[in-house]
Structure 1
Amino acid sequence: MTVSITVAVIAPSLLNTNGDAENAQVLARRARWGGAEAVVVPVEHPDDLPPDPDAIVIGSGSDADLEAARDLLLAIHDELRVAATRGVPILAVGTGLELLSWGIEHDDNTVTEGLGLVAGRAVANTARVSDDIVVASPRFGRLVGFENHARAYVGAEGSPLGRVAYGVGNGRDSSQEGVVMGEVIGTHLHGPLLAKNPAMADHLLASMFTRLGAGYVAGERAVEADKHAARARAAILERLGQTAD
């Protein structure tokens, strides 16, 4: 049986400032390397959303595009909630995470309401955080990435993606990063995340394949690509004084 995978990427014209929309391409490429058929569907309008996507990626953008991105997400709110309930992996990075939260509190005391799909909210920070980050995740192992955000994230204490080994993460001295609720994963890690952390990509793919009644095995090209990722990770960890994988 040939597995067919559909990855929806939400508003890539607005939410791809740090290349995070390309996480969708990472999933599709690795799925193909594993013998599946895979397509990435850009969703710039509510009608673009596939009826039953196998994964959903929401990237990060600037505050100038915040309202437009939020309005699109609100228009597909019910579909996103159904997908989350069904166990469809949803990866939201940076602004994507903030928009799936309870809301965003700005430093001028205004609030951008979120979709409320994950616990927590974004609050104004005293200064922008921009540096490498290393996270110990009980679900995905050690994750490396780059954080670049001007807001802290509070209220996700019971369900973080992991604990910060290097960097800031959610901030406010929480020592935590991101939020996980079922198969909905929110994080500040740019990179794109899944290219730097292929083990996490394969975890998501395994979940996608299982939902389709199949098993996922990384292909030979994925194994070769992972060697490059491992070298990049090792260089980052060495520079940060962290123990190599």
Structure 2
Amino acid sequence: MTVDHPADLTIVTLLPRLLDTNGDAANARVLAQRARWAGLSARIVPVHAVVDIPETVDLVVIGSGTDTDLVAARDALSSLAEPLRAWLTGGVPVLAVGTGWELLSAGLNLADGSSVDGLGLVPGRAGALPARVTDDLVVDADGLRLLGFENHLRGYSGAAAPLGTVAYGTGNGDGTEGAVDGSFIGTHLHGPVLARNPQLADRMLGTAAAARGLTLAPNAQTESVDGIAKAARNQVAVRLSLTSE
């Protein structure tokens, strides 16, 4: 376990060398920058083994990897199963994308009929879709319109609750997208998702800040970036013949 250095919020990114195929580990940088714009200090700690884990963890980000690395990533995550379980049960906001999410579930059913066991830390299981999905993905999620792109071979069933309903795209394969279980969020949304949808980042930051007795105070830079992100989302929505925000 690493020695802490003072910071208001500590953001852990798990296995960024294995799980960053679509740039999803950058979600940690989005959280850190938005925390700083909101008046809090923040640091990012890459974790590849238990020894890397800092004493204090306020938010956790897990990216997506390739199917050729599924077993290697699962085994690496297995060595971090106990800290992960503690973060999940302790209410630490955890965002997992793509295979990083799937590997926390009961397991993955692959297109060739084989399967890979997961860690069983979150409800549900990933199952093979008829073909790879590569397209825009638009999700209506608890008052938020979330946009990103999806690039995956599997859907998902058995989540405690979905992140939202699909307005465009495939998502879980049943009209829903993602998974929510307490402070855990799993999603197929790439982009990275928090860069394209900073309002979701702020919800995670708000939970983490409140747990530390801290308050977010967004500044003009935050508002400017939010405006740019909203304009980008609306441009995609119009192209897809969806209503804009």
Q: Note the C-alpha offset of 1:214.
A: 1.3
* Whole-Å separation in 1 of the counterparts to 2:207 and 2:52: 24
Is 2:150 the partner of 1:147?
A: yes
Cα deviation, 1:11-51, whole Å, max 9, x if unaligned, reads: 11111111111000000000011111111111122211223
Structure 2, unmatched stretches of 5+, are 1-5
Match of 1:49 among 44, 47, 53: 53
Equivalent pairs counted in the alignment come to 240
Rounded Cα–Cα distance in structure 1 between residues aligned with 2:241 and 2:121: 36
Post-superposition Cα deviations, 1:110-153, rounded to whole Å, max 9, x if no partner, equal: 22111112111111221000000111111x51111101001111
Structure 1 distance, partners of 2:7, 2:55, is 17
Equivalent residues of 1:98, 1:104 under 8 A apart: yes
Equivalent residue for 2:119?
Answer: 115
Partner residue of 1:219?
A: 219
1:217 maps to a residue whose letter is A
CA distance in 1, matches of 2:185, 2:115: 23
Tell me the percent identity. Answer: 50
Q: What is aligned with 2:136? A: 132
Q: CA RMSD in A?
A: 1.3
Q: Please tell me the residue identity of whatever aligns with 1:185.
A: I
CA contact (8 A) 1:3 1:209 kept: no
Deviation at 1:3, TM superposition (A): 6.1
- Give 1:115's aligned amino acid: L
Quick check: 1:88 aligned with 2:92? yes
Using the alignment, how far apart are the partners of 2:12 and 2:106 within structure 1?
Answer: 23
Equivalent AA in structure 1 for residue 170 of structure 2 = V
Q: What is the alpha-carbon distance in structure 1 between the residues aligned to residue 112 and residue 215 of structure 2?
A: 50
Q: Is the 8 A contact 2:49 2:80 kept in 1?
A: no
Determine the C-alpha separation between the residues in 2 that align with 1:100 and 1:137. Answer: 22
CA distance in 2, matches of 1:110, 1:207: 38
Asked if 2 retains the 8 angstrom alpha-carbon contact of 1:137 and 1:143, the reply is yes
Question: Residue 231 of structure 1: SS of its match in structure 2?
Answer: helix
Q: CA deviation at 1:219?
A: 2.3
Name 1:236's counterpart in structure 2.
236
Query: Matches of 2:235 and 2:25 in 1, distance apart?
Result: 24
Instruction: Find the aligned partners of 2:155 and 2:186 in 1 and give their Cα distance.
Output: 13
Residue aligning to 1:39: 43
Q: Give the counterpart letter for 1:89 in structure 2.
A: P
CA distance in 1, matches of 2:89, 2:66: 29
Q: Which moved more, 1:116-125 or 1:204-213?
A: 116-125
Amino acid aligned to 1:150: L
In 2: Cα distance, 1:88 partner to 1:47 partner: 19
Deviates more, 1:213-222 or 1:195-204: 213-222
Could you say what secondary structure the match of 2:87 adopts? Answer: helix
Give the distance between the partners of 1:55 and 1:127, measured in 2 at CA: 33
CA distance in structure 1 between the aligned counterparts of 2:55 and 2:231, rounded to whole angstroms: 39
Runs of at least 4 residues of structure 1 off by over 2 A? 107-110
Amino acid at match of 2:172: N
TM-score by length of structure 1 reads: 0.94
Structure 1 CA distance, aligned partners of 2:10 and 2:97?
19
Q: Which moved more, 1:193-202 or 1:215-224?
A: 215-224
Take 2:87 and 2:100, find their aligned partners in 1: how far apart are those partners? 16
After TM superposition, the structure 1 stretch with the greater mean CA deviation from structure 2, 214-223 or 195-204, is 214-223
Inter-partner Cα distance in structure 2 for 1:175 and 1:13: 32
TM-score norm. by structure 2 comes to 0.94
